[in-house]
A = this chain, B = another copy of it.
Amino acid sequence: MKLAISGKGGAGKSTLAAALVLLMARRGRKVLAVDADPDANLAAALGIPAQEQEKIVPISRQAALIEERTGAKVKQYGQIFKLNPDVSGIADRFAYYHQGVALLVLGAVERGGGGCACPENVLMRALVTDLILYKDDALVMDMEAGVEHLGRATASGVDKMIIVIEPGQRAIDSTRRILRLAHDIGLHDIRLIANKITGPEDERFIREAFPKEAFLGVIPYREEFRRTDRDGCSVLDSLPDDVLHCFVDILNNLEAPP
C-alpha cells in the first residue's frame, strides 16, 4: 500500500500518520514513513526524542551530498532510488529507524531565501513512483499542509489518499479543494477521516458535507493528544483504549480487501 495523508494545516495529518505506521510496524509490516512536509514534525509525533531528531539527515541534504559526489542533477535524483527500489533498499540507505518504522524526512528550506522545495518534491515523486512494494509492505506519506503539493503532484504515485478533516467550514473547504486537485492527478481511492470530534454535532457537520461511503473512520477529540505532544511522547502513548481502537479500526478498514 502506498498511502498519502493530506488535509488542512492542523487537522491532524501527522497524528494519524504516526498512529498508522506504528500500528503497522506492530503487525510486522515493513513500513516506510515519509515526512514530506518542509515544516517536519512526524518524528516528534512518533515520539523520537528531540536530541535524537537532530541526528536525522533529511533527504534534501543527502541528495545534495550525492549530487556533490556524483554530479547527478536534480532530474536524475530518481536514479538514487532506482538503484534501491524496494523498501529495504531505501530504508537501509536513507532512513532513521524507530520502533520498527523506517522514517524518511524530506527536509528542504534549510535557509530563508534559499529557494522553494520544488527539487525535493521532484525527488519525492520519483521515490513514491519507483518504489516497489512487496505484499504487506507500506509507504505512508505525511503531506505538507494545504494544496501546493497537489500542484506539484508529489503524491501522484500513491494508490490511496486519506484526507483528515476537523469540524469547521474552513477545513471542509480545504478538503473539497484537495479532492478536486487529487482527482486531477489521477488519485481516485480517496477516503476521509473526521478528526477532533467532540460530540455528535461535530460528526454530523462533517458527514453532511461528503458522501457517506467516503468515510474511513472517526477519531474523537481527546486532551491526551495535546499532552503527548507536549511531553514529547508518541501519539499512541497513554492513549485511552477506545481511541486506540479507532486507529485500529481505521487500519483494518484500510487493509481490508476491496
Whether A14 sits at the interface, judged by CB under 8 Å, is yes
Residues in A1-60 with C-beta less than 8 Å from chain B: 8-11, 14, 37-39, 41, 44-45
Shortest C-beta distance, A170 to chain B (Å), equals 4
Contact of A148 with B117 in the complex, beta carbons under 8 Å: yes
**Inter-chain contacts of A117 with B (CB < 8 A):** 148, 151
A121 to B148, CA, bound (A): 12
Whether A108 sits at the interface, judged by CB under 8 Å, is yes
Contact of A109 with B151 in the complex, beta carbons under 8 Å: yes
Whether A216 sits at the interface, judged by CB under 8 Å, is no
Contact of A39 with B156 in the complex, beta carbons under 8 Å: no
Contact of B173 with A108 in the complex, beta carbons under 8 Å: no
Contact of B39 with A168 in the complex, beta carbons under 8 Å: no
**Inter-chain contacts of A14 with B (CB < 8 A):** 170
Contact of A147 with B113 in the complex, beta carbons under 8 Å: no
Whether A138 sits at the interface, judged by CB under 8 Å, is no
A112 to B125, CA, bound (A): 14
Whether A174 sits at the interface, judged by CB under 8 Å, is yes
A11 to B41, CA, bound (A): 14
**Inter-chain contacts of A230 with B (CB < 8 A):** 167-169, 205
Residue of B nearest to A111 (CB): B184
**Residue count of chain A within 8 Å CB distance of chain B:** 52
Residue of B nearest to A181 (CB): B112
Interface of A is mostly: loop
A150 to B116, CA, bound (A): 8
Shortest C-beta distance, A230 to chain B (Å), equals 6
Residue of B nearest to A229 (CB): B168
Contact of A111 with B169 in the complex, beta carbons under 8 Å: no
- Contacts A9-B10, A108-B148, A116-B118 known; list 12 others, CB within 8 Å: A8-B39, A38-B148, A44-B169, A44-B170, A109-B150, A109-B181, A112-B183, A112-B185, A113-B156, A116-B152, A117-B151, A170-B229
9 smallest CB-CB distances across A and B, nearest first, come from A10-B10, A9-B9, A112-B184, A39-B146, A9-B145, A112-B181, A145-B145, A109-B151, A112-B185
Show 18 residue pairs from A and B whose CB-CB distance is below 8 angstroms, ordered by the A residue. Answer: A14-B170, A38-B147, A38-B151, A39-B147, A44-B170, A44-B173, A111-B181, A112-B151, A112-B182, A113-B185, A114-B184, A115-B152, A116-B116, A118-B118, A148-B148, A167-B230, A168-B230, A169-B230
